[in-house]
Amino acid sequence: MMAATSSRTPAPRDGLARLWQGFMTGRVLIAFALLLLQMVLTINNIKYSNQGLWTFALCVAYLAQTVLVRVVFNPVRPGNAFARQWVATALVDVVMFGMLQFTRSGTLTYLPLFVYPVLTSGVLATRKLALGTAALCTLILLGEPWLTGQHLDAQVTSGLMQGALASTGLLLVALLTNQLTHRLQQAQAHARRTQADAQRSRAEAQIMRLINERVIDAMPQGILVLNEKLQVRSANPAALTMLGLPETHLLASLRLTDQAGWIELVDVAKLTFARGAIDHAEINVTQRSRTQVHLTVNTQTTSSPEAAQRPMCLMFMQDLRESEAKLRTEKLASMGRMSAAVAHEIRNPLAAISQANALLQEELNDPMARRLTGMVEQNAQRLGRIVDDILDVARVKEVGERDESDALALDAHVRTLCQEWADQHQVGTRLQVKLSADEVLAAFRPDHLRRILVNLLDNAARYATHAQGAIQVSTHADRATGPVLLMVWSDGKALDQGVQKHLFEPFFSSESRSSGLGLYICQELCHRHGGAIAYERTPRQINGSTQQGNEFFISMKRWQHTANAPLDPDADTSR
């Protein structure tokens, strides 16, 4: 049976707690009805006055006890302390109703009230206690005719039969109600276990979903989920990085058609929706910073048995730059070692040839002979430059290794370098400088920037016309936290597609007199600072007219202060 405690803590709102409150409220109503009945009987003098007042006081005490139990006591689960609740409820009821039955007069009977404590014990107590309550009621009902003297009366047999029948009914009520309550408790326990299992399953599913999200977020492979309108429904950080977007970009407004540089990705998605999964496709994606990324893509479509659910495209993207860089590094490492060894072996004989040619030139007076020695000197110098370039390649670190970058005031350094180069080459108005990244610090070493910019300017001067503004240098800061761009444009002829494909490969050149290492060294220096260099054909304004030209642009990271990084925006560019 559920025990009662005097704590004012609210009872648990389960089935048995509600039954407890219902039965206790019923006791209060029965006590109030008995009190009203006794008031009516006392006022009408149906009972003797002394007996009536005593019964009235008993009903008042019973009402107070029922209200106290209803308000103060809270039910707890059945346990060893069930006797306190039984004493405070069922036993009190049986004693109260028995006393009223013993003191009744006339034909008034309180027999129906005995059903209530039996029913309460059958629902809220154990079977033994319910049967015990019914047995106690039986003793009262069978003993009442003898104690009141009815055994001398001719109606004793009738009273005993009535008590026996009522007792049998009470026993049946105790058994049936207890059995129904037991089954109700079993059903509630089963429902609680089912609910707990469901909650545990939902919690496990939530944990697995979080684990899957973290695994997907940590994957180097980019994952995009698209609908038929090419709207991005989900994307992991790697995919956003490949698209040139920040990891915090809002996906609700992102479509593949938003950027012109994603056109090849759009074509793959449309082909997937039209024909099904694509196992392998190689595409190029141009980011907002104008950096081109080479990707491999494979796609799948998701379908639902529900007709209302439209298919989705699941796209897996792999950045080929890492694998290509690794392969290039391995290839160049072996080539660099061999080239450095050959260059060292060439440098000594080359120095001897140059020195001997200079001595010979001093002794010759014949113009033809001096012309031949001039050709020897010119080619020796060219060969020396090639050797120097090969040794520079050997000194460049692997792509994965990074130099410490300085806080470079980009506009100030570019302006200084362009002025020095223009004075040295006397280009005049051919060179125009348009800088728009004022007060922006780039993460780059000044001497590396000098080498890259001078190389690009030399190439531009070689192929550009002599028109005003034929060579243009500009800077641009894309966003508050985005990359910084340095562009070198010239109005030369467009490069062939075959040349563009191998533009940054070592030892590749469209001219026989070039070593083919200049742009490769520029690319390696950019990689050492987490940047990139690329080429595209773009239009610019020259003397009020739009003209197509060749543009090399460098994407540099913004400088972020660290404990070991030097903060020297005015550092000497000749370092």
Cα(396)–Cα(526) distance, integer angstroms: 11
End-to-end CA distance of the chain: 92
Task: Return phi, psi of residue 126, to 5°.
Answer: -80, 170
Give the per-residue pLDDT at 394: 60
Degrees, nearest 5: CA angle 180-186-187: 90
Task: Return phi, psi of residue 566, to 5°.
Answer: -75, 135
Give the per-residue pLDDT at 481: 67
Half-sphere exposure of 118 (CA within 13 A, CB side): 25
422 and 486 in contact (C-beta within 8 Å)?
A: no
Give the list of residues 6+ apart from residue 443 with CB closer than 8 angstroms, or none: 405, 406, 407, 408, 529, 530, 556, 557, 558, 559, 560
Q: Per residue in 429-438, is it b (16+ CB within 10 Å) or e — as a string?
A: ebbbbebebe
Q: Does residue 486 sit in helix, strand or coil?
A: strand
Q: Calculate the CA dihedral of residues 446, 449, 450, 454 and round it to 10 degrees.
A: -170
Give the list of residues 6+ apart from residue 76 with CB closer than 8 angstroms, or none: 2, 3, 4, 5
Domains and CATH numbers, the chain: 2-193 (no CATH), 219-302+309-321 (3.30.450.20), 324-395 (1.10.287), 407-556 (3.30.565.10)
Give the per-residue pLDDT at 448: 85
Give the list of residues 6+ apart from residue 59 with CB closer than 8 angstroms, or none: 31, 34, 35, 37, 38
Q: Does residue 491 sit in helix, strand or coil?
A: coil
Cα(18)–Cα(307) distance, integer angstroms: 46
Instruction: Tell me whether strands 407-409 and 232-235 are parallel, antiparallel or unpaired.
Output: unpaired
Give the per-residue pLDDT at 306: 53
DSSP letter for 87, please.
I
Mean pLDDT by 10 residues, the chain (575 residues): 41 63 87 86 61 80 88 66 66 84 74 83 78 82 67 57 75 80 78 88 87 81 88 88 81 83 90 89 82 87 64 88 69 66 73 81 80 82 71 54 69 92 88 87 88 90 89 83 87 82 72 68 84 89 87 87 47 40
Give the per-residue pLDDT at 567: 45
Degrees, nearest 5: CA angle 274-266-277: 40
Cα(554)–Cα(318) distance, integer angstroms: 23
Give the list of residues 6+ apart from residue 427 with CB closer than 8 angstroms, or none: 421, 461, 471
- Burial status of residue 212 (CB atoms within 10 A of its CB: 0-12, 13-18, 19 or more): exposed
Cβ neighbour number for residue 497 with a 10 Å cutoff: 7
- Report the candidate in 21, 139, 119, 16 with the shortest Cα–Cα distance to residue 70: 21
Question: What would the DSSP string read from start to end of 445-479?
Answer: -HHHHHHHHHHHHHHHHHHS-SSTTSEEEEEEE-S
Cα(444)–Cα(450) distance, integer angstroms: 10
Question: Which pTM does this prediction carry?
Answer: 0.46
Give the per-residue pLDDT at 174: 78
Question: What would the DSSP string read from start to end of 519-551?
Answer: HHHHHHHHHHTT-EEEEEEEEEEETTEEEEEEE
474 and 433 in contact (C-beta within 8 Å)?
A: yes
- Burial status of residue 200 (CB atoms within 10 A of its CB: 0-12, 13-18, 19 or more): exposed
133 and 174 in contact (C-beta within 8 Å)?
A: yes
- H or E stretch at 321: helix 320-363
Give the per-residue pLDDT at 391: 67
Cα(505)–Cα(483) distance, integer angstroms: 24
